[in-house]
Amino acid sequence: MTPNNPLKQYFRQPSIYIRLPSQGQYYPDGALDMPPNQELPVLPMTAVDEITYRTPDALFNGAAMVNVIQSCCPNIKDAWSIPAMDVDTILVGIRVASYGHSMELGSQCPKCKHDHEFSVDLRQVLDQLKTPDYTSAVRYGDLEFYFRPMTYKNLNENNQLQFEQQKVMAMMPDSEIPDADKISSITDALKRLTMITIEALCQSIGAVKTPSALVTEQEFIRELMQNCDRNVFNGVRDHIVKLKTSSELQPLKITCPECQNAYDQGMTLDMSSFFAAAS
């Protein structure tokens, strides 16, 4: 920025302040500049930010959102290292700062199939976001598992890998290749999906404690998850899923204006609809 620009006072100003569910924990040194009152200013998007997140490719690999987050939340210096539990709060914060707190969503009543629109107050959505408890350990015999949240980078890589594998599997039935080859390709894709799951679990395990050692090395933990009893594996997986779900957006309670049926509507921050809906 040019020093002494007389127009500087007209640059965008923070329009809301957010509190991170993580309270700034889990960020590596230098990734977050936490203000003393724990409230992070959020600036509205610039025109460049808006164009950046709309670039389909950039959206997909997460790089676009990283740039937009760092532009709108200047206290976040490295958006790739944001712990998963903070991502929704930050994205909702940017949406509120840029387009206001009210968001229109479309929904179809599952009972009478009536399509209607309703309005969500995103400030309430922000208030409802909870902090999952990563402090408690899970014990199996002599083993104690300690957990940590995935980073935004982990989330992105996993989503991308999963999407690619699902694409392979979805294309399979129509393709011209012989059935025997299809089966082996599907088996391969399923194996790779399992590997992605194992990888995601390992990214969520901070340490494993035995009576004689505290193991934090990812390669050792990965080998354990590949070779442990399925009960241990499933128990660890379920605990991680529970932690993840507890910090997710709660479904919205909707009443159909046509037939008065009350139902839950899931809410996702799928970027394309979450931000595009505002324009």
Summarize as ranges the residues that interact with Zn ion (CB under 5 A): 109, 111-112, 114, 256, 258-259, 261
Separation CA 267–CA 250 (nearest Å): 7
For Zn ion, give the closer residue by CB, 79 or 109: 109
Give the shortest CB-111-to-Zn ion separation in angstroms.
5
Distance between CA atoms of residues 232 and 221, nearest Å = 13
- In the complex, what is the shortest distance from the CB of residue 273 to Zn ion, in angstroms, rounded to a whole number? 22
Q: To the nearest whole angstrom, how small is the minimum distance from the Cβ of residue 266 to Zn ion? A: 17
Report the phi/psi class of residue 84: left, alpha or beta, with left for phi > 0 and alpha for psi in -120 to 50. alpha
Rounded to whole angstroms, what are the CA distances from 17 to 45, 53, 90, 170, 244?
14, 22, 10, 43, 24
Show the tokens assigned to 230: 């399925």
Smaller CB distance to Zn ion: residue 114 or 244?
Answer: 114
Of 214 and 259, the one with the shorter C-beta distance to Zn ion is: 259
Judged on CB neighbours under 10 Å (0-12, 13-18, 19+), 6 is exposed
Q: How far is the CB of 109 from Zn ion (least distance, A)?
A: 3
DSSP, res 32: B
Six-digit token string for 265: 């509507």
User: Partners of 255 in the beta sheet?
Assistant: 262
Q: Which is nearer to Zn ion, 100 or 257 (CB)?
A: 257
Looking at beta carbons only, is 85 or 256 nearer to Zn ion? 256
Q: Which residues fall within 8 angstroms of residue 167, CB to CB, at 6 or more apart?
A: none
For the chain, the residue count is: 279
> Which residue number, 262 or 278, has a Cβ lying nearer to Zn ion?
262
CB of 117 to Zn ion, least distance (A): 14
Residues 166/158, Cβ–Cβ less than 8 Å: no
| Least separation in angstroms between CB 113 and Zn ion | 7
